[in-house]
């Protein structure tokens, strides 16, 4: 099995948020791009542009007290045939902000994917958490043709459970295409903590119970919101998320969804996907 391990540490240094620790082992790759805002950014990618059979990535994130961090991906996470997995464990300190806005997971036909995420918030910490999945390569006849997609997210605050969320898509429970109807993309958005008051109010006001875009937000525990989103295609998903996350851009001072990858701090040109989406790494 190919195992990729990574670590990101963000701290408040001289009045600014900065990445003070960054390490990754192939096939995981981590980049630290510049941005125009107040948060420190990290971008996750993988050599070969996706996860192949046997890949298992694990990422640990620490956001120190008073710091702000944004975690994004370089592109969508393609799931090739076979079994692969990702896990994330994040500790967010007092008064800190953690924004995780990866591009969608795209399972190909025959792909089996498992994701486990745990975010531990200190008192006074804030979180914006996004996860999404699309139908796959529908133009190739692979609409909702994955063997299994499984995602579980747990958010704790002060040691107590705040949110426990899960999604399992398995054709063993019934044909996925028929069950999904007209929808080709799903997303879950979790927004919590005092710093996210404007973002939470915006998400709650964006409820869309019918039509091509469904947004179903639910308030939790006074200062947390969980929103379920279903849209008809990936393009509509991108537009919907840009709208829902508009207040988060103001929080960060820059737009993580507006561009794939800003200029790295090293000044070097980052490596792009080594292989095309149709040709996974071997």
Q: What is the pLDDT of residues 89-100, one digit of tens each?
A: 999 999 999 999
Minimum mean pLDDT among 32-36, 71-75, 206-210, 266-270: which range?
Answer: 266-270
Judged against a pLDDT cut of 50, whether residue 147 lies above it is answered with yes
- Answer yes or no: is 55 within a domain: yes
Contacts of 233 (CB under 8 A, 6+ apart): 184, 185
> pLDDT class for 208, splitting at 50, 70, 90?
confident
Mean pLDDT of the chain: 89
Judged against a pLDDT cut of 70, whether residue 35 lies above it is answered with yes
> pLDDT class for 281, splitting at 50, 70, 90?
very low
> pLDDT class for 114, splitting at 50, 70, 90?
very high
- Answer yes or no: is 279 within a domain: no
- Answer yes or no: is 197 within a domain: no
Count the domains in the chain: 1
Domain range for 87: 3-174+243-252
Return the beta strands (E) in 96-244 as ranges. Answer: 97-100, 105-107, 111-121, 126-134, 148-157, 160-169, 185-192, 213-220, 224-231
pTM above 0.75, yes or no: yes
- Answer yes or no: is 131 within a domain: yes
- Report d(CA 140, CA 64) in Å as an integer: 45
Predicted local confidence at residue 271, as pLDDT: 31
- Report d(CA 247, CA 189) in Å as an integer: 14
- Answer yes or no: is 273 within a domain: no
The count of other CB atoms within 10 Å of the CB of residue 122 is 17
- Answer yes or no: is 236 within a domain: no
Average pLDDT over residues 210-222: 89
> pLDDT class for 259, splitting at 50, 70, 90?
low
Distances (CA, A) of 216 to 187, 194, 213: 11, 21, 10
- Answer yes or no: is 65 within a domain: yes
Greater confidence (279 vs 174) lies with 174
The fraction of the chain above a pLDDT of 70, given in percent, is 91
- Answer yes or no: is 210 within a domain: no
């Amino acid at each position: 099995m190919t195992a990729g391990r990574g670590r990101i540490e963000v701290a408040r240094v001289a009045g600014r948020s900065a990445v003070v620790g960054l390490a990754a082992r192939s096939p995981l790759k981590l980049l630290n791009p510049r941005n125009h805002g107040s948060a420190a950014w990290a971008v996750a990618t993988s050599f070969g542009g996706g996860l192949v059979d046997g890949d298992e990535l694990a990422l640990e994130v620490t956001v120190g007290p008073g710091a702000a961090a944004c975690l994004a991906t370089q592109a969508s996470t393609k799931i090739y045939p076979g079994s692969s997995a990702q896990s994330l464990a994040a500790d967010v300190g007092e008064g800190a902000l953690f924004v995780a806005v990866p591009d969608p997971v795209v399972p190909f036909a025959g792909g089996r994917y498992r994701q486990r995420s745990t975010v531990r918030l200190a008192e006074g910490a804030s979180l914006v958490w996004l996860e999404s999945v699309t139908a796959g390569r529908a133009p190739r006849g692979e609409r909702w043709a994955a063997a299994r997609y499984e995602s579980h997210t747990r958010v704790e605050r002060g040691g107590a459970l705040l949110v426990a969320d899960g999604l399992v898509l398995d054709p063993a429970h019934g044909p996925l295409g028929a069950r999904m109807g007209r929808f080709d993309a799903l997303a879950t958005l979790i927004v919590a903590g005092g710093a996210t008051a404007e973002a939470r109010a915006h998400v709650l006001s964006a409820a869309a119970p019918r039509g091509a875009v469904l947004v179903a937000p639910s308030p939790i525990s006074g200062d947390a919101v969980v929103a379920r989103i279903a849209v008809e295609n990936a393009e509509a998903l991108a537009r919907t998320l840009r709208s829902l996350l508009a207040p988060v851009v103001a929080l960060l001072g820059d737009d993580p969804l507006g561009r794939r990858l800003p200029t790295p701090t090293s000044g070097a040109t980052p490596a792009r996907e080594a292989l095309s989406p149709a040709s996974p790494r071997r």
